[in-house]
Structure 1
Amino acid sequence: MRWRGRELLDIFESEFRDRPVEYYKTAIEIGNVVVNGKPASTTHVVQNGDVISHTLHRHEPPVTDAPIKVISEDEDMMVICKPSGIPVHPAGRYNYNSVIEILAASRPGWKPLPCNRLDRLTSGVMFIGKHPKAAEELSTQISGRTVRKEYVARVAGKFPDGDVVCAMPILQISPKLGLNRVRASGKPARTVFRRLAYYGPEGEEGADAAGAEDGKAEGRPWVGKKGYSIVRCLPITGRTHQIRVHLQFLGHPITNDPIYSNQRVWGASLGAGDADAMQADEDVITRLARMGKSEVADAVAYHDEMVDDYNKRKAEKMSGELCEVCSTPLYTDPGVQEMGIYLHSLRYEDKDLKWSYRSELPEWALPPGGVEGPREVGGLDEVVDLGRLRELEEGEEEVGEGERKEEQERKMARRKGKKGGQGDREGLAPVETVTLPVALVGEGEATRAPPAAPVVAAVASAPATAAVL
């Protein structure tokens, strides 16, 4: 929808970041990019129903070779556990290294039909239809809000007790960079959180001073903060990056999130509580655009002393070299720590409990060696009272209206304050906490690196086609 009515070159420049705009301009001019099978100019205005095809020498990034596990299967549906680091669909630089292509290659003649989507970096439960009717029926259930979802995340610091409801609206800032932020003008969003476990660092009593000696904490505000939490997450709505954005806002970001837990992008606060966009979107976009290009996408967890020097150095960014065949700028291979984030789709179930599927907890959510802790989860009623959950689900369409009004009032107050030589920032009540109040700033970060996983890569020449809907 967002491509309709826009010029062809503008679409490539704003939507795809793996190649410079000069490449796309040349590709259009020499006929490697066609519209409805015919050459087009860079200023061609894309219309409803147009099919844009781009034939290119493809360079695919490596992905993990962890297996796609089958949780359940019948004649209509396959339920799988997607590994982190693999995109669902061919997109951007990924084609053969995608869930759909890998499954299709495993069973020749079958066209897998995904019924739900997960981000490339996210692992967990997915549904794959074996034929169009089955895929359509389940997709309708999911989009019709008759299915409940549960995720599990590993976040910085000690997450508050009780069930925590974050009802802050979310706005897409840059589809090209995958950036979303809490904003009153965004779409309504609600997520329920509950801490499953908290694991403090060894020698917790002296942890506040650890790392602060010899100037080691200079420029590293997270040093000396305590431990990490495993958090159960129930998204009531389904906004892009909803769980990741809400956890960042609450001050407990996913510890290895390269976007929302990145000090080089957000500064020392890591974006906690920033509903008023005190950091301008343009500044955040500029800094984020450098990640994976001229700079490594360095999340907080990568500063962990337990990540060895090799993994600290080994990360994806532009190498400065060009492909001899197509002159495409080449990237270094990503490090193992970049293959995923600590966010896992744990459970999908019908609201009337006609069916339910869930995976095992991922390795990073299990208790560390020698420490007692939960190794499995119970029902959703352990996260939030089901009667209260129904109330949250029924009220989801009204979420955000009050916040929008408050945001407009704050903006007017700030404008008046600036004119009068003031301009103090007003507070915002971002969350509803049922048991205990919520601390908006996290206490710490993860202390362990993700387990190593082998990777595979592919390079191919292939056409990429996209239809404008």
Structure 2
Amino acid sequence: MSEPQYIVNEAEQGTRIDKLLTNVTSDYSRSQIRTWFDKNLVTVNGKTVKPNYKCQTADKVEWMVPEVEPLDVVAKNIPIDIVYEDKDILVVNKASGMVVHPSAGHQEDTLVNALLYHCDDLSGINGVKRPGIVHRIDKDTSGLLVVAKNDLAHEGLAEQLKKKSMKRDYKAIVHGDIPHDYGTIDAPIGRSEKNRQLMDVTEKGKSAVTHFEVIERLHEKFSVVKCVLETGRTHQIRVHMKYIGFPIVGDPKYGQRKSIDVDGQALHAYHLQFEHPITKELLEFEAPLPTKFTKVLENIRKSY
């Protein structure tokens, strides 16, 4: 590790230490620098500090830059549907059945494996297992997600997610005839106390808000809905639709025991809109419903 240092000048009095380091070390993003504090790699006058420390004139700031962790995810030539790409970002229409990034039980054949084969550079903010990944969609959910090629683009996209300005719309087939044309589900989501592998609506959970609109009603037994995410909790739409009594068709975790065989849940991220993190251009994309989804709709219309 390298051990650079910096003496705070009078004009920098009162500046947060993380902001100061961002200005002084232009090669590193603010998100990267925050990780240095987590590892106690930043000191002021020989003592470790938190990122919100206010600098004083003549403070001696020292920091150690950790060595880049070697990438241990293998690039694989896996076909992916790239709907947009430039030097900073790309937008992928992910197929149902593909895991977004390596995790326990899914070390290969993920979207990240495919991206590493396609791209020379991906942002490193989320570590070696999730390069470029700004947001995720579940394995058996299909549809659009944006990937960052560098840390600056990643930070810009993450900020839009934080401010809820990135628009992410889904279509789903659910069990039941929803009586309202529109609705908002505002219910916190966290780990289920009964089964830690599942998420659930719980008072101890994090804020989660999903807006929905009924697009079509099918024989009083099914509804096609549009869901708009205001927040992005794990399994959010699946958990919320179950919570209000209209679980997603084919959902193996949160659906009905007797459901239509969809090989996963009938959920598709069809619309994505955001501001390009570098050029500031407003970008908008739509992905048509996959064959799996349309076949389920056809079967319902014919069978009921």
1:253 Cα shift? 0.2
Give me the whole-angstrom Cα distance separating, in 1, the residues matched to 2:300 and 2:190.
42
1:356 Cα shift? 1.8
Partner of 1:93: 105
1:98 Cα shift? 0.6
Equivalence map 1:39-438=2 (5 Å): 49=39, 67-107=79-119, 109-111=120-122, 113-173=132-192, 177-200=196-219, 226-263=220-257, 300-301=258-259, 304=260, 337-338=262-263, 340-350=264-274, 354-366=282-294, 367-368=297-298
8 Å CA contact 1:159–1:231 kept in 2: the answer is no
CA separation of 1:371/1:241 partners in 2, compared to 1, >3 Å: closer, same or farther? closer
1:365 Cα shift? 4.4
1:159 Cα shift? 2.2
Q: Which structure 2 segments of 5+ residues have no match?
A: 1-37, 41-76, 123-130
8 Å CA contact 2:78–2:109 kept in 1: the answer is no
1:171 Cα shift? 2.6
Opposite residue 289 of structure 2, the aligned amino acid is L
Equivalent residues, number: 218
Give me the whole-angstrom Cα distance separating, in 2, the residues matched to 1:187 and 1:370.
35
1:97 Cα shift? 1.4
CA separation of 1:193/1:174 partners in 2, compared to 1, >3 Å: closer, same or farther? same
Percent pairwise identity: 29
Give me the whole-angstrom Cα distance separating, in 2, the residues matched to 1:85 and 1:365.
13
Give me the whole-angstrom Cα distance separating, in 2, the residues matched to 1:122 and 1:177.
21
CA separation of 1:248/1:78 partners in 2, compared to 1, >3 Å: closer, same or farther? same
Give me the whole-angstrom Cα distance separating, in 2, the residues matched to 1:123 and 1:195.
20
Q: TM-score when scaled to structure 1? A: 0.42
CA separation of 1:259/1:130 partners in 2, compared to 1, >3 Å: closer, same or farther? same
1:177 Cα shift? 4.6
Give me the whole-angstrom Cα distance separating, in 2, the residues matched to 1:239 and 1:194.
20
1:126 Cα shift? 0.9
Q: Secondary structure at the match of 1:259?
A: coil
CA separation of 1:255/1:370 partners in 2, compared to 1, >3 Å: closer, same or farther? closer
1:414-467 Cα shifts (integer Å, max 9, x gaps):
xxxxxxxxxxxxxxxxxxxxxxxxxxxxxxxxx69xxxxxxxxxxxxxxxxxxx
Give me the whole-angstrom Cα distance separating, in 2, the residues matched to 1:175 and 1:135.
36
CA separation of 1:186/1:370 partners in 2, compared to 1, >3 Å: closer, same or farther? closer
Q: Secondary structure at the match of 2:155?
A: helix
Q: Secondary structure at the match of 1:90?
A: coil
8 Å CA contact 1:196–1:229 kept in 2: the answer is yes
8 Å CA contact 1:66–1:83 kept in 2: the answer is no
Give me the whole-angstrom Cα distance separating, in 2, the residues matched to 1:159 and 1:363.
25
Give me the whole-angstrom Cα distance separating, in 1, the residues matched to 2:300 and 2:178.
22
CA separation of 1:369/1:238 partners in 2, compared to 1, >3 Å: closer, same or farther? closer
1:272-292 Cα shifts (integer Å, max 9, x gaps):
xxxxxxxxxxxxxxxxxxxxx
1:191-232 Cα shifts (integer Å, max 9, x gaps):
1111111223xxxxxxxxxxxxxxxxxxxxxxxxx5322110
1:91 Cα shift? 0.3
Give me the whole-angstrom Cα distance separating, in 1, the residues matched to 2:283 and 2:79.
25
Give me the whole-angstrom Cα distance separating, in 2, the residues matched to 1:184 and 1:259.
21
Higher RCO structure (Cα 8 Å, ≥6 apart): 1
Give me the whole-angstrom Cα distance separating, in 2, the residues matched to 1:124 and 1:106.
19
1:66 Cα shift? 8.9
Q: TM-score when scaled to structure 2? A: 0.62
1:362 Cα shift? 2.8
Give me the whole-angstrom Cα distance separating, in 1, the residues matched to 2:194 and 2:161.
23
CA separation of 1:122/1:370 partners in 2, compared to 1, >3 Å: closer, same or farther? closer
8 Å CA contact 1:96–1:102 kept in 2: the answer is no
Partner of 2:22: none
Q: Secondary structure at the match of 1:113?
A: coil
8 Å CA contact 2:218–2:300 kept in 1: the answer is no
1:68 Cα shift? 2.1
8 Å CA contact 1:230–1:365 kept in 2: the answer is no
Opposite residue 244 of structure 1, the aligned amino acid is R
Q: Which structure 1 segments of 5+ residues have no match?
A: 1-47, 51-64, 201-225, 264-299, 308-336, 373-446, 449-469
User: How large is the RMSD of aligned CA atoms in angstroms?
Assistant: 3.3
